[in-house]
């Protein structure tokens, strides 16, 4: 049992029993079992972004390290669909961003970067540029969602915008995006049943919640 829970298997029977009890005591309680399992992944959205292996295993969000990337992407779809009231579009082919939304006659694209270190925009900029180039509609907003960003990434996004006036690469952490989604879907927000105005994200560089004012 200890081995299945990734707990040490040495020691007396009493020691092992105590480890099992402690393991379940630290699990976050759930009021009810959600039909949509993505809600559980959403609860650990920042941990998926930063690849917090121990926390994700202890909470039974993952069993294998390779699950993190897909669950981070699926949790993002859940965030937009269930919290911000936008249904992600289905994309044909394989060379696509992780997500696509409609914004009038335009698209909003996003890409998830799950990493143990800060995301360096320059490492991925050519890939993102190709996604926008091959789109059949303009892409004024491209969201990069990660655990954090290198200091150089902001300047890189500004230089890209200087070459492409109609494109904004917005750098937003998983913590920031989850906080925004929770704020919008909160019962205290009278507009929570309406789609979140995606145009508010059309700002190049690092996301700053203070720029948006009162939602």
First to last CA, the chain: 48
**Quick one: angle between helices 151-163 and 125-133, nearest 10?**
30
pLDDT of res. 94 = 77
pLDDT of res. 29 = 60
Query: Please, which pLDDT band fits residue 21 given cuts at 50, 70 and 90?
Result: confident
Give the three-class secondary structure for 56.
helix
> Following CA atoms 194, 139, 75, 83 in sequence, which dihedral angle do they give, to the nearest 10 degrees?
-10
Phi, then psi, of 85 in degrees rounded to 5: 65, 45
Mean pLDDT of all residues in 177-189: 97
CA distances from residue 103 to 128, 141, 195 in whole angstroms, order as listed: 18, 9, 11
Nearest to 130 by CA among 109, 151, 156: 109
């Amino acid at each position: 049992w200890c081995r299945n829970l990734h707990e040490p298997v040495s020691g007396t029977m009493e020691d092992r029993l105590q480890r099992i009890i402690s393991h379940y005591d630290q699990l976050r309680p759930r009021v009810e079992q959600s039909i949509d399992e993505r809600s559980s992944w959403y609860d650990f959205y920042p941990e998926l972004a930063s690849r917090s292996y121990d926390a994700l295993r202890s909470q039974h969000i993952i069993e294998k390290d390779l699950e993190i990337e897909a669950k981070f992407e699926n949790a993002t779809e859940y965030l937009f669909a269930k919290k911000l009231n936008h249904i992600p579009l289905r994309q044909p082919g394989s060379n696509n961003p992780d997500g696509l939304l409609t914004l009038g006659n335009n698209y909003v694209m996003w890409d998830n970067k799950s990493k143990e270190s800060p995301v360096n925009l320059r490492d991925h900029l050519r890939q993102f540029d190709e996604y926008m180039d091959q789109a059949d509609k303009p892409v004024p907003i491209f969201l990069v969602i990660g655990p954090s960003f290198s200091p150089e990434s902001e300047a890189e996004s500004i230089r890209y915008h200087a070459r492409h006036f109609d494109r904004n690469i917005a750098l937003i952490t998983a913590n920031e995006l989850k906080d925004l989604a929770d704020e919008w879907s909160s019962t205290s927000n009278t507009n929570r049943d309406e789609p979140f105005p995606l145009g508010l994200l059309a700002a190049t560089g690092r996301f700053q919640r203070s720029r948006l004012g009162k939602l």
